[in-house]
Structure 1
Amino acid sequence: MPRLGALQPPYPADIQTQFDQIMRGAPPLMLFRVMAGHARAWSKFRGGSLLDRGPLSLRDREIVIDRTCALNACEYEWGVHVATFAAAAQLSPQQIEATVLSAADAPCWSEQEQTLIAAVDALHARATLSEIEFAGLRACYAEDQVLEIILLCGFYRTVSCLANALGLPLESGAARFPRAAGTG
C-alpha cells in the first residue's frame, strides 16, 4: 500500500469526471487516487501536468518520459508508460530496454533520438543544457517542442519523486524494469 491513503470507489462525481478524462474509462492509477485525495495537490498536479498530447510526436514524448523515469529509478511510472504507450509509439523491445540500461548513443536509436536522449540525460544530471546540447535539440525540434522536452523532463522527475517517495505499489499489467545481464 502507498504511504498515504488513496481514494476508494465510488469517487465523488467531479473526481470521477477528472479520472475519466485522464484515463479514458480505465480505472484510475494509484498515483491519481492518492493525489486526488488531497484537493490542493491534485489541482496543482493536474494544472501543471502535461497529460495532453502536446507538440511532440508520441514516440519522442514517450522516449523523454521513459528515459526520465528510468533515470529517476521510477519503475512505477516507467512501467505504466511502457505498458500503455510503447506499442503505439513504435518502441521496439530493444529500445524499451535501452531507456533503462543503455547510453544515449545506443545504436538502436536514430541520430535525432540520440540527441533527444542526451538532452534528457543532461537535464537529469545537471538541470541544464550546454550550448552544444541545446543547439542539437534546436537542429531537430521547433521552439515549442524544445520547451515541451524540458517541461516533460521536469514534470516526470516530479512524478518520479511522488511515486517513489509515496511507495506506490507497481500497477498490475505495467511493465517491469529490465535487468542488466548478470543481475538477478
Structure 2
Amino acid sequence: MPLKSKQPRIAPLEPPFDAGTAEVLDRLGPPIALFRVWARRPELARGVSDWGRYYFSRQSALTVRQRELVIDRTTALCGAHYEWGVHVATFAEKAGLQDEQIRSLAVGSPADECWDAGDRAILGAVDELHATYDLTDGTWADLVEAAGDDGALDLLLVCGWYHAISFTVRALRLPPEPGTPRPDSP
C-alpha cells in the first residue's frame, strides 16, 4: 500500500531540543522521527514511554524473538514500512532472525519452511488477529502451547499496540529512517 504523500504530516521536532523535549526523548529512546513527533506532546510521550518500558522489559512473558515476530509481522501486514524497518534494523539480529525469515515476515506466510512450530503459532495468531480481530480455539491452543497463557496475553496487547503504531506512522507519512530496510526489499 503506497503512501500518497512523501512529506510527514506533522514535522518531527528538530534539534536543538529544549530541556523538556530532551527529557522526553531520553525516556523514549533514540531520537527517531516517530519519537520526535510524540515529543511535541510530552504527556503523550511519557505515557507511551511508560507503557513500552513495561511491555518491552524483562516483565514481558514473550521472548525477544516472539516479541519481534509479533511486531515485524504486524507492521508488515499493516504496510507500516517505517516501523518495520526500525525493528528489523534494531532487533532482527538480537531475535536470531535469518534473511529468509525476515523476507517471510514481510511477504510470506506462517506456513513457510523457515519457521518451526512455535514460530508458526506466533505468526498464525498475528495473521488471524489482523484478518479477523479474534482467534479461533485452535489458534489460541497453538499460541498457548508456544508462549503460555501470559505470553498469549502479551501477544494480544503487543499486536494491538503495533496496529496503533502502524496507523500512526502511516497516517503521519513518516519516511524510513536512514539505513533501515523496507518490507518489500529486506
TM-score, with length taken from structure 2: 0.87
Kept in 1: contact 2:24–2:42 (CA 8 A)? no
1:42 maps to a residue whose letter is A
- Root-mean-square deviation (CA, aligned residues, Å) is 1.8
Question: Which whole-Å deviations, capped at 9, do the CAs of 1:94-141 have from their partners, x for residues lacking one?
Answer: 000000111111110001100110000011111111111111111122
Which of 164, 172, 181 is the matching residue for 1:158?
164
- Number of corresponding residues: 177
Which of 131, 135, 144 is the matching residue for 2:137?
131
1:133 maps to a residue whose letter is T
Structure 1 consecutive aligned stretches of length 4 or more whose deviation exceeds 4 Å: none
Which of 81, 85, 89 is the matching residue for 1:75?
81
Q: Measure, in 2, the Cα distance between the counterparts of 1:81 and 1:68.
A: 11
Kept in 2: contact 1:67–1:117 (CA 8 A)? yes
Moved more, 70-79 or 167-176: 167-176
Q: Measure, in 1, the Cα distance between the counterparts of 2:95 and 2:85.
A: 14
Structure 1: runs of 5 or more not aligned: none
Q: Classify the secondary structure of the residue corresponding to 1:142.
A: helix
Which of 45, 52, 55 is the matching residue for 2:57?
52
Kept in 1: contact 2:70–2:158 (CA 8 A)? yes
Q: Following TM superposition, by how much is the alpha carbon of 1:13 offset from its aligned partner in structure 2, in angstroms?
A: 2.3
2:78 maps to a residue whose letter is N
Question: Which whole-Å deviations, capped at 9, do the CAs of 1:55-84 have from their partners, x for residues lacking one?
Answer: 211111111100000000011000000001
Q: Tell me the residue number matched to 1:140.
A: 146
